[in-house]
Amino acid sequence: MAIIRNTTVLTNLQTELSNAIANGLNTATIVNILNGALGAGEQIGQTAFNTITEGVYKKFGVGDQVLNRTEIVTTGIWSGDTGSLTVNATYTSSAQIANISGKYYIDVYNALTSSDSAEVQFSIAYGDYNGYGAPTIGQDDSSTRPTKATYSQYKNLLLSPTDEYFSVYSGPATSSAATTTHNLTSFYAINVNRARYKERLDPGNISITLAGTSGSITLIDDSGGTDENVTTSGRIYNLVSGSLNIGSALTASIKNVTSRNGEGYGLFYPDMGIILLNPNALASIVDIKLAPANSSMTGVYHNISLSGSTYSANSGSVMLLNTLAGGADFQVRRTENVSTAHYFIRANNREFNFSNNPTFVTGSAGQFTWPVFESNPKVFITTVGLYNDANELLAVAKTSKPIEKSFDKEVAIKVKLDF
């Protein structure tokens, strides 16, 4: 509450009140005089004097709108906003794999593709700097060299023009001794579907468990242990073995930064929704069939392991899918910046107590259906509409149940609008 002692303001108010006796009160003038003496945050809105106006619309008062707020919203990325996906190696599309796109990537679904609920969750691709893992043009005139094209595609997308290779940790397993100097000449790319990750993946909340014949490993990103490395493709983190320690007070713990062969596990690009995995690192600790292709052969594609592949069928990307299914836990969250506005709907006891609902009235003269409403009308709010000055309905909100409104009750509803 502000106490006004400003003599100029008090004199002006006295004059206006005197004029009001003869000519009526101009509330706008009174408000302007008062606001001249009030500080920021204390000023009165013009509508403060006009809140009880007959009609169907009510203007928002000063302070009834909280606009331009940004909230960071995190949710699970998989279908149904779940954070954990139990990968199943059979949740792929044979038609997609048989198609030309199958030589580049494999789409992985959340259910059998025959199911109505099946949606692509992520794709697995294999890229090779040398083009190994796919026929050369010399071996097959119609070869589109998909592994070479994939490597180049991700290189152009994620690396600066001066970089030729992706670099991962190299050296001992402890982070203090390891350096990021090992160049990846091949990788498996897990590309999260755009509709799933929306704005970006959430660093510090990714956990991929792989299990194969050699063992299992859980990969997390090292965002909790290192400063952010931001490049033209956004933030980059190294994948390391460890645990998120979800459900405990502990922060994520890193076990090893390199695999048994002394190479890092891969890279994580949260802003691009891309995870790159080092085939050699995974082959040394999870399954030998995850090893990179080391040659080009006619009719052999490392991405889909056609018969005659270097490591027979079920190697390459298919093997990565199998080890993901073996690990049975792929946890990722997404995060979005959501612009939010809050509107405070205040209906005081004298407002909005009658309805244009056809069941509220009877006859042609607008009489109430129930005579008791003549002395004590009651209405039930189910919908809030937000309008501009042209009375255009721009946003609408529904209450979870009808809210009673009468001359005995006031209602305050906070409407949250995200966009």
- Provide, rounded to whole angstroms, the least separation between the CB of residue 379 and other proteins: 5
**C-alpha–C-alpha distance, residues 238 and 146, integer Å:** 26
Q: For residue 237, give the nearest of 225, 245, 246 by alpha carbon.
A: 225
Name the residue nearer to other proteins (CB basis): 60 or 165: 60
Integer CA distances (angstroms), 357 to 354, 367, 382, in order: 9, 12, 12
**Interface with other proteins, residue 386, by CB under 8 A:** yes
Residues in region 266-295 near other proteins by CB under 8 A: none
Q: For Cα atoms 239, 311, 105, give the angle at the middle one, nearest 5 degrees.
A: 55
- The least distance separating other proteins from the CB of residue 66, rounded to whole angstroms, comes to 12
How many residues interact with other proteins (rule CB under 8 A)? 75
Q: Tell me whether residue 165 or residue 407 sits nearer to other proteins (CB atom).
A: 407
70 binds other proteins (CB under 8 A): no
Smallest separation, CB 201 to other proteins (Å): 25
Tokens at 177, concatenated: 């001794």
Q: Is the dihedral of CA 315, 317, 322, 326 positive or negative?
A: positive
Query: Closest CB to other proteins among 222 and 351?
Result: 351
Q: Give, as ranges, the residues between 338 and 357 that touch other proteins (CB under 8 A).
A: 341, 343, 345, 347, 350-357
For residue 343, the minimal CB distance to other proteins (Å) is: 7
Mind giving me the DSSP string for 235-246?
EEEEEEEEE--T
- Between 54 and 141, whose beta carbon lies closer to other proteins? 54
Out of 82, 174, 298, 382, name the contact with other proteins by CB under 8 A: 382
User: How many CB atoms are closer than 10 A to CB 371?
Assistant: 8
Exposure on the CB side of residue 336, measured as CA atoms within 13 A: 14
Applying CB under 8 A, does 418 fall inside the site for other proteins? yes
Which residues within the stretch 17-56 sit at the binding site for other proteins (CB under 8 A)?
52-56
Nearest approach, Cβ of 117 to other proteins (angstroms)?
21
Residue 142 makes CB contacts below 8 A (sequence gap 6+) with none
Name the residue nearer to other proteins (CB basis): 70 or 383: 383
Stretch that binds other proteins, among 90-98, 306-314, 324-332, 377-385 (CB under 8 A): 377-385
Question: Which of 416, 342, 345 shows the shortest CA–CA distance to 59?
Answer: 345
- β-strand pairing of 216-221 with 234-243: antiparallel
Residue 14 burial (CB count, 10 A): 10
- When the beta carbons of 164 and 404 are compared against other proteins, the nearer one is 404
Q: Which stretch binds other proteins (CB under 8 A): 34-42, 106-114, 115-123, 381-389?
A: 381-389
Phi and psi angles of residue 162, each rounded to the nearest 5 degrees, phi first? -85, -10
